[in-house]
Structure formats: structure tokens, C-alpha cells
Amino acid sequence: MGNTESTPTPPQPPMRAGRRRQTSTSSPTQSLDEKFDAIRIDHHPHTSPSSHNVLSTSDTEHVSGTQTIQYVRDLLKDNKNRLGLSALSTANPSSVLEIPSAILKDTQNFNLSIPHEGTPVTNQRSSGRCWIFAATNVFRIAIQQKYDIKNFELSQAYLFFWDKVEKANYFLTSLLDTAEEYDVDSRLVSALMASPVGDGGQWDMIVNLVAKYGIVPQTLYPDSWNAQNSSTMDRLLTTKLREDGLKLRAMRKDGASDTEIASVKEEMMQDVVRILTLCLGPPPAANEKFTWVRLLHTPPTLDGTTQTNEIKEYTTTKHQVKTASLTPLDFAASTEVKKFISLVNDPRNPYNRLLTVDHLGNVYDGRPITYVNVSAQTLKQACVAMLRKGLPIFFGSDVGKMSDSQKGIMDTALVDYELGFDVQLGMSKAQRLLTGESQMTHAMVLTAVHLDQEGKPVRWRVENSWSVAAGTEGYFVMSDAWMDEFCYQAVVDPAVVSKEVRDVLSQEAKVLPLWDPMGALA
């Protein structure tokens, strides 16, 4: 990061820090924001209400317990702090400090939306498969329109199975590749060991899976208990792979032949597939035809075949019963998955720059993780253009920041920690990435936006995968300011961006290390 374009900007003041305290002469014409600001506390340079310090007066490298206790006692002489103690110590501070006006303005009203949203709302349950759910929620819209189906889900477990298999191979191969140059306690190998087969993923990983294995309806390969509750299976796989990785590296260092190593690695991969098959069920073959089953939950049988109960059709919106016989790869043809590109907004790095991440992927020698780094404005313009074309958008963000999952609101003005704790918070997006304060944690789908009279986004409609119990029947509202600060990625058709942005794809990518925040898997 040795150039001006990638230098972090100075800390930005808190969103409301510049507002002055007002007299409490509210009138019927005042907005809720104005009434709320009438009792707001100004944030002047902080002066301690106590003459007692927290740090030792004789040695500021150490905390003084005695002085700290006296500081706390002096702190609670203030009526406001005693009130804060009563409220904030007995409930979740983020709920106590939610601003009513933010909740009221973040409504599910939009003036630009895609013509068809996928149904039903999906539920990833206790798993980290959000990226697979977001991708399949994008894919299913084209399939629902093609086959005239009202309610339809693709099998997330099918891609989940093959992702685990491919990640296991990617991990073992990477440990072999690094055996002679990197020690086990090196930062790279430690990062590889941290999560060999984690549930998370990225768009290019979806591209690799769909290109190699295709997709299938959920009725053909439904969720098992372990697909919905993946932690035990993941822990077992992680333990086994770490142990196996050490064995392979030792063989390489001891001079074992490639043939000997390949034979042992094959046994290790068979162990992985056995665990996955027993936990998730035997998957359909990518090149064998399946017959679409009509709305039946038909788990695989013990012998690896799929029960059909002699019902081999699906139902259209006109209640017509039809059949379809095709392979998973045939079924994936309508997704056009390979043509889409991943835009990111990473202000640490120059814009209009191609980025990739070292040793991050699932299919070994598959399509690499590739990001076109653009400004937030360019990313949002591309998203609006996608919605105008009637296309949903896979996007990655830091969903836990300034959000309420029950209300389904993501808004930088949602929670006023500054008011409750009399502190100032003002890191820039670049600084949050640099310090590990923020990164991509969750993938969802954009289906609508509300534009103001000048055509600028005000708020966005978000399809989540946390069931109908979260948000408004499964949908969230994201303020445009929240998108600026906590949205990092959007997957778009290259046709909706300028030639200048498309030309970035021909650059030699800047390689980020595996532990970089942009290497986080949604």
C-alpha cells in the first residue's frame, strides 16, 4: 500500500457529532429526528468527571486498580450515568439504543424492483452456507420463469457436498505445495490450517462448483440434519484434515515419491467422502439424468439411489403437471454463471484495480478468486443497472454491524452508541478493514431499490436466508449509507459497467495474502 490511492482517509466524525444540542421546545411539526436530537449530548473533547485516573500516575504503562475504582465511583455520581447503568446493564445495549426514527423510515417501499422474486424464503439454519443460498436464490429466478413454477428451491446441500470434497483436496494439495518452502508455523500454513473446509465461500467458488457439478432441485437432494447443523461434521473433517496434512508434508520432506504420496492422499480423500456421504447423503451424479420430482421430500436411500415414489413431475403456476429429465449440468445451463463478475469496494487499494487472494479457492486449478475493485458509487450504479434489467444481485457485506435481524434493518443510524456511552466512533471503511473491525461475513441478494427524485439510492430491499421469521417475512431493508460503509461486494453482468471497468479484468491481479480481510469467506 505505497501509493496515495490506497492510503486510508482520516477518521470521519460520527454521523451526528456535528449537531448542536437544541432546546426542548418540541412542536407538532417537529420530526422524530428533531425531537430525539433535542436531548442529545454534545461530544466535546472528553474531560474526565473525576480527578482520579485509570492509568497509574507514576507509570502510565500500567492500570491502577485503586484509582480506577475511585474513577467508577465518581462516574456514577452523574445522574445520566446512573440512568445508563440501569438501562444498559439489564438489556442488550444495541436494542436499548435503537433510534425510533431510523426504524420508521426504513420501510419496505421501493420504486425499482425486479419483476419476479424467488419463493419461498429460504433458511440456512445453523450453517454457514449463506453464499450457497444467495447464489441459488439468484439462479432459481431464471429457472422459475423458464419452467413457470411459483415455489421452487435448488438444492443447497448438493453444492455443499461437492464444496467440502473440493476444499479438502485443495487443502491437502496446498499443504503439499508449501511443504518445502514454508514451515507449519508460518503465517501462510497457519492460515491454511485455520479452516480447511469451512462452510463459507465466494462467488468464484460457486462458479467452479456449478461448472463442474451443475445444480439440482432441492427435492432431489434435500437437506440432511448435518447440512442444517454443520458444526459437528465440520469439526470432524477439520481434525482429520489437519492430521492428514501433517502426514503428507512429512512424507514430502522425507523424500517419498509422488506415487506414494498420491496413494496416501487418495485414502485420505476417501475418508473425507465417506464422512460427507454418511452425514449429507449420497449426491446425484453430475452427468446422469434425473427426473424432476414434484414437491416431495424424498431423502436418498441407503443404497445410494433416490426414491421417486413413481411421481416424476413438477407443477406449473397454472397447475399443469409436467416432467423434466436432464442432468445436473444441463439444469445449470440457464444460470449463465460464468459471465458474471465480482465488483468489490476496498478503499485500501486503488480503484479500477484487479485483486485476487493467495491460496483461496475450492476447486484446485479452477477459476481463481477475482475482484474488480471500484468505488462505492460505481458499485451501486452497477447494482441499480442490474435491477433495471430485472436481475437480482448476489452481494457480500458485514451483516452484524448496525443491524437488527428481527426487524430486518441495516442502517448506520440505527443504534446510537455515542449517546448511550458518551464516546465517539469514527473509523473510515479503510480503517475498519485495516484493523480487522470489519470484513465480509454474509452473502444475500438485492431485489429492489428506492431512488430519490435525482435517481440516487435511498434504501435497498434484501432477500436473506434466515427464514420468514427474520425481518419482514424474510426480507431486510438496507439504507444506502449502510451500503456505503458495510457492503464490500456485488456480482454483476459486465454489460452494466463501463468499458474502463471491464478492461480491469485484463490486468495482472494484485495478490492479497490469505489472511487479508478480502480473503474472508461469506
Query: In sequence order, what are the beta bridge partners of 492?
Result: 341
Beta-strand pair 475-479/457-463: antiparallel
Establish whether 383 is a catalytic residue. no
Candidates 52, 359, 442, 450; catalytic one: 442
For residues 317 and 150, give the distance between their C-alpha atoms in angstroms, rounded to a whole number. Answer: 5
Establish whether 362 is a catalytic residue. no
Beta-strand pair 409-410/475-479: parallel
**Looking at 107-208, which runs of residues are DSSP E strands?**
112-113
For residues 443 and 396, give the distance between their C-alpha atoms in angstroms, rounded to a whole number. Answer: 4
Backbone angles phi, psi at 396, to 5 degrees: -120, 140
Establish whether 464 is a catalytic residue. yes
> Which residue is associated with the grid cell 437432494?
221
Q: Which residues contact 294 (CB under 8 A, 6 or more apart)?
A: 219, 311, 312, 313, 314, 315, 321
Angle at Cα 215 formed by Cα 213 and Cα 218, nearest 5°? 135
Candidates 130, 279, 383, 487; catalytic one: 130
Task: Tell me the residue type at 322.
Answer: K
Radius of gyration of the chain (CA): 26
Asked if 223 and 156 count as a contact pair (C-beta separation under 8 A), the reply is yes
Beta-strand pair 457-463/314-315: unpaired
What's the grid cell of residue 495? 454489460
Candidates 208, 362, 464, 487; catalytic one: 464
* Residue 490 parent element (H or E): strand 487-492
Q: Which residues are catalytic?
A: 130, 442, 464
